[in-house]
Amino acid sequence: MPLKAGRLAVIAAGLAGAAGEGSPELAAVLLEDGRIKAMGEEALASTAPLLDLRPAWLAPAPLDAHTHLWLRGEPTANLAACRQAGLAAVRDLGNPPKRERPQGDAAEPPLLVASGPGLCAQGAAKTWLGLPCAGPGEFAQAARGLIASGVGLLKVFVTGLLDFNQPGQVEHPLAVSQEELTAVVAEASKAGLKVAVHASGIPAARACLAAGVDSLEHGFFLDRETLELMARKGLAWSPTLAAVEAHAADPEGRHDAAIRRNLELIAAGQAQAMRQAEELGVNLILGTDAGSYGLPHGQAVFLEMEAWLRAGLKPETVFQAATGRAARLLGLEGEVGRIALEARAWLMATAQDPGQEPLALAKPLWRSF
C-alpha cells in the first residue's frame, strides 16, 4: 500500500531525477502522508523514523505513456499488473468507455489518464478503438462529446496500421485530413486538453505538426527533416519500438519468414530515426503499446527500455523519457516522474543510478508502494 499516513525519512546514495542529482546533501527525503515534504538536510533533521538505503539510489517510479488497457485481459487486472511492475501512471489511448481513476491524495498507483475511444475515419480506415467521423464538423462534435464525458485527453487515429508486407508503407495513409485534425485540436484547446495522434509516415507527421497536436504515437517512417521540425515545435514522440520487435520475434508463430524479415527492417529504420531524434533534441517519450502482441501490461515498460538501449539511445534519455518527460506529457508534472517537494511519495531504491542504468527500475531493492 502507498504511504498514506505517517512519516518516514529516507536516505540513499543519490537521488535520480532531482535537482542536484547525486549530491549527498540532497540524498534524503521526508515522506509524509503520501507526499514528499522535505529534502536534504531538512529531511535528515526531522524526528521521523529513518530508513537508510545506502548505497542504493532513490528514484521516481516510471510511467507508461501509451497503453491499451482493454487489450490482453480485463482493464482492472491490467492496471493491477502495472501496479505490480511499479508504474506510477499510465496513459490509456483508445478504449470503449471512459476509465479515469481518482487523482486526489487518496489515489493509488498507477494514476490513469485515459482518452476513452479515439476518433477515426469512416470506412476501411476505421478502428474498433475509435468513433468513426467524417468532416471537420463531425470530428469537432465528437470531440466535444468526449470532453463532456470527462476524458483526460483526446486521441485521433490519423493513419492505419503498418503494412507488414511492404516495409515503409502504411495502410490507409492520412485517413484523417489536416482540417479534421485541426478541428479536434481546436476543441481540445478550449477544454485545456492535449491531443495524441496515432500516425506513421511523413505526410501524417507533417499534418500533425501543422494542426498543433501534442504527441505523435508510433511515428514510423520519418525523415530527418520531419524530425527537425518536431524538435523545433516541441512535438512529443512515443516511437513504440518494442511493439514491432515483438512482432518480429513472433513468439506465437503468427508470421512467415518474409514478414518477420520485413518487421526487422521496420524496427531497424525506427531505431535509426530514434537516434536522429535524440541527436536533434526531439521530445522522446517512453510509451509501449502495452496490450498489443507480445507486450504484457507493466513489464512492457522494461521491454521498451531494452529496445531503446539496443537501438543505441543514451541511458539518461531512456530514464528521462520514462519519468519526467512522460509526466509532463500526461499533465502530471509535480505529481510523479521526479523527486520533488509535494510530489507523490511513489519511490524506488535501485542498486545503480537509473539515470545510467534505467533497467535498474525493473528490479528495485525497495519500493514505497
- Greatest Cα pair distance in the chain: 65
pLDDT at res. 96: 59
The letter for the amino acid at 69 is L
Strands (DSSP E) contained in the chain are 7-11, 14-15, 28-32, 35-39, 50-52, 57-60, 63-67, 89-92, 111-114, 118-121, 130-133, 154-157, 195-199, 215-218, 236-238, 283-284, 347-350, 366-367
| pLDDT for the residue 288 | 98
Question: What pLDDT shows up at residue 20?
Answer: 40
Give 24's pLDDT tier (boundaries 50, 70, 90). Answer: very low
Contact yes or no for 13/350 (Cβ under 8 A): no
- The C-alpha cell 505517517 sits at 6
Q: What's the pLDDT band for 64 if we cut at 50, 70, 90?
A: very high
* Residues 191/194/196/202 CA torsion (nearest 10 deg): 110
On average, the pLDDT of the chain sits at 93
pLDDT in tens, 319-355: 999 999 999 999 999 999 999 999 999 999 999 999 9
d(CA 65, CA 63): 6
The rounded percent of the chain whose pLDDT value lies above 90 is 89
Domains of the chain: 7-59+337-367 (2.30.40.10), 62-329 (3.20.20.140)
Contact 114, 152 (CB under 8 A): yes
Q: What is the pLDDT of residue 88?
A: 98
Specify the pLDDT at position 17.
73
pLDDT of residue 21: 42
Confidence of residue 23 (pLDDT cuts 50, 70, 90): very low
- What pLDDT was estimated at residue 167? 92
Alpha helices in 202-311 (DSSP H): 202-211, 224-233, 241-249, 257-280, 300-310
Looking at residue 191, its pLDDT comes to: 97
Eight-state DSSP code of residue 156: E
Q: What is the pLDDT of residue 4?
A: 57
Show the cell assigned to 211: 494542426
Q: Which residue, 23, 28, 79, is CA-closest to 291? A: 79
Look at residue 241 in the predicted model and tell me its pLDDT: 98
Asked whether the predicted pLDDT for residue 279 surpasses 60, the reply is yes
Flag whether pLDDT at 11 surpasses 70. Answer: yes
Instruction: Output the pTM of the full model.
Output: 0.94
pLDDT of residue 5: 60
- For residue 97, the model assigns a pLDDT of 47
109 φ/ψ angles, rounded to the nearest 5 degrees: -70, 150
Q: CA 332 → CA 110, 128, 206, 345, distances in Å? A: 12, 28, 27, 14
